[in-house]
């Protein structure tokens, strides 16, 4: 390791000299003004704030483990310091190697795998150099991510439902898994409010509260994509959902609009167009296709031809989208009880985080953080709880009507132990009134009277109301 590191170092030095020779006029005009740090469960991100663009190189040295960052055409504008507790970093030093080349050396507790890139200025920040230090998988005990968010008050614990006492789960009935995704994080603060409220903090607080509530519902388990203030790429978020075996993916955001008057919550599902093009993309990407084999209804796509694979994926995407719109509408109508709605219907857009072909996915915009009134509500723990409650209620209602096979909730429904509200049934080809009555365990007479049917004749596509069942009546 040491030998290759040294060779690499010599090469880097040579490149540095070459760079000096051709840019002799541009003498370290760029200043490195500060460094910021975020710890994620498996990596540490350093972001250097610069006054201009730079060339850079990064390499590691061992015994002791160090990371060396050479920033060409730069000098230190201010002393660099970070709080590196809970990270592999023990110390950070810097020195000017030449009048134009700054070297930053990071002392490490253990070896890391670095990745680095530069970012162009945006509305919030200037030029940046990002260095990600990935923990090596060999390190058995991961360093825990920080769990407190400084700007959000801790949420007081309130009791959660269910109001009815549910029977114990028989062996082998799994929980429904809801993966909750707090938008943005780390270097990406999302939208911000006039009093400095940041979307990334508000949505993490709501996501945590939602997780607590969902975990309090028997037969459900909630997981978070991010548990602290760090960035996860959009694809990374859907990958986490798949790895955790999500039955539903809920991404939490707060809106911003040029008009400070804009207000209200909204719920999004993927647009049909986004769904269609995404099916094509997944098919084109054989890696993703193999990734799906365990996820798309346990259908092996490997040994089937491409066209059949396409049809299966398309069906999966269509089914997911139908479920997404259904759960989205339930969440939306519950949210409408605690906060004004921006739109009365589930909207559809091509959001990247909604593009899992096999997992129903919704994105909840909890309100406009750009609106002063909504921003202060969004930052209040009581309102965060109310929003989380409305989302968890919508999620529960959806799964009580559409429980995935093999889950405790499916067992409850099938054994008639669950109270259920009225449902809608769309008549498929070949279905008779008697078949539908058996399927929903209601009498044909009840179906006829609830739907004002003069005869048993049904049309394909016709909508029938299935009456609700009462828990008390079943016990
Ligand atoms: Zn957002």
- How high is the pLDDT of residue 296? 37
- Say how many Å lie between the CA of residue 318 and the centre of ligand 1: 25
- Say how many Å lie between the CA of residue 286 and the centre of ligand 1: 30
- How high is the pLDDT of residue 15? 42
What's the 3-state SS for 42-110? CEEEEEEEECCCCEEEEEEECCCCEEEEEEECEEECCCCCCCCCCCCEEEEEEEEEECCEEEEEEEECC
Dist CA 372 CA 120 (whole Å): 30
- The residue-averaged pLDDT of 437-463 equals 85
Cis peptide before 266 (omega within 30 of 0): no
Output 297 or 432, whichever has higher pLDDT. Answer: 432
Fold annotation for 26-139? Immunoglobulin-like (2.60.40)
Nearby residues of 7 by Cβ (< 8 Å), 6 or more positions away: none
- Say how many Å lie between the CA of residue 469 and the centre of ligand 1: 39
Half-sphere exposure (Cβ direction) of 107: Cα atoms closer than 13 Å: 7
Dist CA 405 CA 399 (whole Å): 11
- How high is the pLDDT of residue 355? 79
Smallest Cα–Cα separation from 426: which of 397, 451, 443?
451
- How high is the pLDDT of residue 283? 56
- Say how many Å lie between the CA of residue 33 and the centre of ligand 1: 28
- The residue-averaged pLDDT of 334-347 equals 92
Indicate if the pLDDT at residue 273 is higher than 60.
yes
For the domain 419-466, what is the CATH code? 3.10.350.10
pTM greater than 0.95 (yes/no): no
- Say how many Å lie between the CA of residue 57 and the centre of ligand 1: 32
Fold annotation for 176-401? Aminopeptidase (3.40.630)
Question: Which long-range CB contacts under 8 A does 401-405 form with residues at least 24 apart?
Answer: 402/323, 402/326, 403/176, 404/176, 404/247
Cα–Cα separations (whole angstroms), residue 241 to 110, 287, 299: 29, 17, 19
Instruction: Give domain limits for the chain.
Output: 26-139, 176-401, 419-466
- Say how many Å lie between the CA of residue 452 and the centre of ligand 1: 46
- Say how many Å lie between the CA of residue 420 and the centre of ligand 1: 34
- Say how many Å lie between the CA of residue 194 and the centre of ligand 1: 16
- Say how many Å lie between the CA of residue 189 and the centre of ligand 1: 9
Highest mean pLDDT range out of 112-126, 324-338, 345-359, 439-453? Answer: 324-338
- Say how many Å lie between the CA of residue 255 and the centre of ligand 1: 6
242 exposure class (CB count in 10 Å sphere: 0-12, 13-18, 19+): middle
- Say how many Å lie between the CA of residue 204 and the centre of ligand 1: 11
Indicate if the pLDDT at residue 149 is higher than 50.
no
- How high is the pLDDT of residue 353? 79
Question: At 22, is the pLDDT very low, low, confident or very high (cuts 50, 70, 90)?
Answer: very low
- Say how many Å lie between the CA of residue 369 and the centre of ligand 1: 10
Half-sphere exposure (Cβ direction) of 254: Cα atoms closer than 13 Å: 31
Nearby residues of 103 by Cβ (< 8 Å), 6 or more positions away: 68, 69, 70, 71, 94, 95, 96, 97
- Say how many Å lie between the CA of residue 374 and the centre of ligand 1: 15
Low-confidence winner among 13-27, 125-139, 265-279, 307-321 (lowest mean pLDDT): 13-27
Query: Rg of the chain over CA atoms, in angstroms?
Result: 27
Question: At 100, is the pLDDT very low, low, confident or very high (cuts 50, 70, 90)?
Answer: confident
- Say how many Å lie between the CA of residue 199 and the centre of ligand 1: 7
- Say how many Å lie between the CA of residue 191 and the centre of ligand 1: 6
Strands 74-76 and 30-39: parallel
Contact between 380 and 199 under an 8 Å Cβ cutoff? The reply is: no
pLDDT tens readout for residues 233-244: 888 898 899 899
- The residue-averaged pLDDT of 182-192 equals 90
- Say how many Å lie between the CA of residue 130 and the centre of ligand 1: 21
- Say how many Å lie between the CA of residue 428 and the centre of ligand 1: 39
- How high is the pLDDT of residue 437? 82
- Say how many Å lie between the CA of residue 367 and the centre of ligand 1: 10
- Say how many Å lie between the CA of residue 170 and the centre of ligand 1: 40
* Residue 71: φ, ψ to 5°: -115, 110
- Say how many Å lie between the CA of residue 475 and the centre of ligand 1: 45
Indicate if the pLDDT at residue 90 is higher than 90.
yes
- Say how many Å lie between the CA of residue 61 and the centre of ligand 1: 39
Smallest Cα–Cα separation from 234: which of 296, 183, 191?
183
- Say how many Å lie between the CA of residue 164 and the centre of ligand 1: 36
Low-confidence winner among 183-197, 278-292, 319-333 (lowest mean pLDDT): 278-292
- Say how many Å lie between the CA of residue 313 and the centre of ligand 1: 28
**Is the Cα dihedral 201, 239, 83, 103 positive or negative?**
negative
- Say how many Å lie between the CA of residue 113 and the centre of ligand 1: 29
Q: Is there a common fold for 26-139 and 419-466?
A: no
pLDDT tens readout for residues 372-391: 999 999 999 999 999 999 99
């Amino acid at each position: 390791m040491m030998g290759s590191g040294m060779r690499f170092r010599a090469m880097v030095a040579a490149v540095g000299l070459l760079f000096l020779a051709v840019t002799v006029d541009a003498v370290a005009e760029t200043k490195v003004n500060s460094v910021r740090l975020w710890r994620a469960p498996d990596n540490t991100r350093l972001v250097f704030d610069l006054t201009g663009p730079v060339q850079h190189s990064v390499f590691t040295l061992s015994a002791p483990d160090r990371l060396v960052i050479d920033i060409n055409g730069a000098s230190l504008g201010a002393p660099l310091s970070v709080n590196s507790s809970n990270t592999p970093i023990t110390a950070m030093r810097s020195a000017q190697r030449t009048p134009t080349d700054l070297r930053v050396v990071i002392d490490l507790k253990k070896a890391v795998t670095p990745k680095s890139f530069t970012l162009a200025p945006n509305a919030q920040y200037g030029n940046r150099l990002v260095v990600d230090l990935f923990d090596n998988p060999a390190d058995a005990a991961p360093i825990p991510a920080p769990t407190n968010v400084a700007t959000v008050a801790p949420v007081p614990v309130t009791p959660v439902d269910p109001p009815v006492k549910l029977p114990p789960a028989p062996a082998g009935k799994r929980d429904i898994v809801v993966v909750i995704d707090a938008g943005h994080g780390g270097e990406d603060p999302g939208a911000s409010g006039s009093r400095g409220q940041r979307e990334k903090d508000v949505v993490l607080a709501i996501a945590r509260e939602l997780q607590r509530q969902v975990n309090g519902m028997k037969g459900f388990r909630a997981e978070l994509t991010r548990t602290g203030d760090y960035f996860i790429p959009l694809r990374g978020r859907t990958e986490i959902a798949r790895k955790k075996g999500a039955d539903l993916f809920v991404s939490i955001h707060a809106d911003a609009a040029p008009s400070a008057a804009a207000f209200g919550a909204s719920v999004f599902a993927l647009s049909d167009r986004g769904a269609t093009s995404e099916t094509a993309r997944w098919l084109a990407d054989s890696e993703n296709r193999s990734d799906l084999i365990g996820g798309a209804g346990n259908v092996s796509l490997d040994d089937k031809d491409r066209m059949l694979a396409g049809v299966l994926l398309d069906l999966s995407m269509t089914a997911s989208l139908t479920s997404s719109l259904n759960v989205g509408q339930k969440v939306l109508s519950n949210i409408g009880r605690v906060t004004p709605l921006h739109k009365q219907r589930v909207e559809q857009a091509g959001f990247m985080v909604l593009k899992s072909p096999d997992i129903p996915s919704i994105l909840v915009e909890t309100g406009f953080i750009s609106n002063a009134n909504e921003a202060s509500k969004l930052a209040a723990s009581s309102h965060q709880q109310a929003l989380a409650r409305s989302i968890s209620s919508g999620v529960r209602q959806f799964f009580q009507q559409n429980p995935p096979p093999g889950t405790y909730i499916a067992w409850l429904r099938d054994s008639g132990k669950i109270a259920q509200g009225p449902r809608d049934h769309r008549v498929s080809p070949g279905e008779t009134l008697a078949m539908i009555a058996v399927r929903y365990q209601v009498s044909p007479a009840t179906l006829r009277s609830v739907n004002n049917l003069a005869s048993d004749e049904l049309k394909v596509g016709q909508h029938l109301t299935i009456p609700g069942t009462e828990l008390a009546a079943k016990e």
